[in-house]
């Protein structure tokens, strides 16, 4: 129904948006792309000599044959997969329970409320709980279970814990919206036909809520590639995630081409994820069409 009228008015209304997006999003992104092919200069600048050095650096090895950046990339990927799997495993039953409860507004509120507290304060609260003089150590020592404080921070588990903590609502909400639309009568039908409770959930419900699961996975998985604060505060200072690597290149060593090439890498990974997502949705629609066609025959 849109797009009939005077295009002069449309141009006027859209002008501020077009200019802003171009100047402060498209141009900066183009510069990042350009910088990723330039040469790093001393003092945090760039020299206008085109080459692929910044990309080659991603595959550079140390003398002992260790890949520095690829290892960081691999580690980030591993953490992202682990955090996403954990998040979905917790979020699925939560969303299911909310969807099956009649007055679920309150339950949804309970999920969202903790996120009204500033992100950084939530991270700090975990430091206050897990730190060496934190509440957990003090409690365990008071109970006489441990003599010396244990270092719960600065390891992968602490990072995973907080990643799951910060991502949970973003997974629960899209899962809830799809599960809510699911026809629970189908579960009963499956059980009447002899399926077990778990079996009916897996074979009947899971395929029907795939869309929600994929959205939840994307919301959890993609941001972890750029995450910086969580591993920086909670993690081992000897292991870097991709976000930390980019930050150190930009803020400490002034390696702009290096930071740019890694940003382009994240961009490609994100684009890849999205292409898979749309391809999956198309396939699902096609499958649906096939089923309808078969039914018609």
Partner 1 sequence: MTKPRLSKAVFWTTIAFLFLPLVVLMVFSFNEGRTMVWKGFSFRWYESLFLHQPRLWAAVSNTLIVAFTSSILATVIGTLGAIAIHWYRFKAKAYVQAMSFLPLILPEIIIGVSLLIFFRMIGMPLSLWTIVIAHTSFTMPFVLLMVTARLGEFDNSIIEAARDLGARESQTLFRVILPIAVPGIFAGFLTAFTLSLEDFVVTFFVTGSGSDTLPIFIYNQIKRKLPPEINAFSVVLIGVTVFLLFFARRSIKYFVQRK
Closest by CA position to 157, among listed 179, 194, 132, 126:
126
Whole-angstrom Cα distance, residue 12 to residue 200? Answer: 55
Query: Smallest gap, in angstroms, from Cβ of residue 291 to partner 1?
Result: 27
CB of 238 to partner 1, least distance (A): 17
Cβ at position 255, least distance to partner 1 in Å: 11
Name the β-bridge partners of 47: 39
Helix (H) or strand (E) holding 89: helix 68-100
DSSP for 117-161, written as a single string: S-HHHHHHHHHHHHSTTSHHHHHHHHTTS-SS----SSSHHHHHH
- Rounded CA-CA distance 216/89 in Å is 11
User: Are 241 and 79 contacting, i.e. CB atoms less than 8 angstroms apart?
Assistant: yes
Query: In the complex, what is the shortest distance from the CB of residue 10 to partner 1, in angstroms, rounded to a whole number?
Result: 3
In this complex, which beta carbon is closest to partner 1, that of residue 68 or of residue 107?
107
Tokens of 181: 């639309």
Task: Give the C-alpha separation, 212 to 91, whole Å.
Answer: 11
The least CB distance from residue 82 to partner 1, in Å, is 17
Cβ distance to partner 1 smaller for residue 127 or 150: 127
Nearer to partner 1, 74 or 119 (CB): 119
Tell me the C-alpha distance between 219 and 199, whole Å: 27
When the beta carbons of 39 and 191 are compared against partner 1, the nearer one is 191
- Shortest CA distance to 231 belongs to which of 210, 254, 248, 212? 248
CB of 292 to partner 1, least distance (A): 27
Give the largest CA-CA distance in the chain: 78
| DSSP character string of 185-232 | HHHHHHHHTT--HHHHIIIIIHHHTHHHHHHHHHHHHHHHTT--HHHH
What is the Cα–Cα distance from 182 to 210, expressed in whole angstroms? 11
Q: Which is nearer to partner 1, 84 or 227 (CB)?
A: 227
The residue (of 239 and 247) whose beta carbon lies closer to partner 1 is: 247
CB of 267 to partner 1, least distance (A): 6
Residue 222 beta carbon to partner 1: minimum distance, rounded to whole angstroms: 6
Q: Nearer to partner 1 by C-beta: 68 or 125?
A: 125
Q: Which residue has the tokens 């692929």?
A: 52
The smaller minimum CB distance to partner 1, of residues 192 and 294, is found at 192
């Amino acid at each position: 129904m849109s797009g009939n009228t005077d295009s002069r008015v449309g141009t006027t209304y859209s002008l501020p948006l077009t200019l802003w997006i171009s100047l402060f999003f498209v141009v900066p992104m183009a510069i990042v792309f350009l910088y990723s092919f330039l040469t790093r200069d001393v003092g945090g600048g760039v020299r206008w000599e085109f080459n692929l050095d910044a990309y080659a650096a991603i595959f550079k090895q140390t003398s002992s044959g260790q890949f520095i950046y690829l290892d960081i990339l691999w580690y980030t990927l591993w953490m992202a997969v682990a955090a996403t799997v954990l998040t979905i495993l917790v979020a699925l039953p939560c969303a299911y329970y909310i969807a099956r409860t009649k007055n679920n507004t309150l339950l949804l509120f309970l999920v969202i409320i903790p996120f009204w507290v500033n992100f950084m304060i939530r991270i700090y609260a975990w430091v206050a709980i897990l730190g060496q003089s934190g509440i957990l150590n003090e409690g365990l020592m008071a109970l006489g279970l441990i003599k010396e404080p244990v270092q719960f921070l600065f390891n992968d588990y602490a990072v995973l814990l907080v990643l799951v903590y910060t991502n949970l609502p973003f997974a629960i909400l899209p899962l809830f919206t799809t599960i809510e639309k699911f026809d629970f009568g189908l579960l009963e039908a499956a059980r009447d036909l002899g399926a077990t409770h778990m079996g009916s959930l897996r074979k009947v419900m899971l395929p029907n809520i795939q869309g929600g699961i994929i959205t939840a996975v994307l919301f959890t998985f993609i941001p972890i590639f750029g995450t910086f604060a969580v591993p920086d505060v909670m993690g081992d200072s000897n292991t870097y995630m991709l976000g930390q690597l980019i930050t150190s290149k930009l803020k400490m060593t002034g390696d702009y081409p290096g930071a740019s090439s890694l940003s382009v890498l994240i961009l490609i990974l994100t684009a890849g994820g999205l292409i898979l997502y749309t391809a999956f949705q198309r396939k699902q629609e096609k499958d649906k069409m096939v089923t309808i066609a078969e039914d018609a025959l």
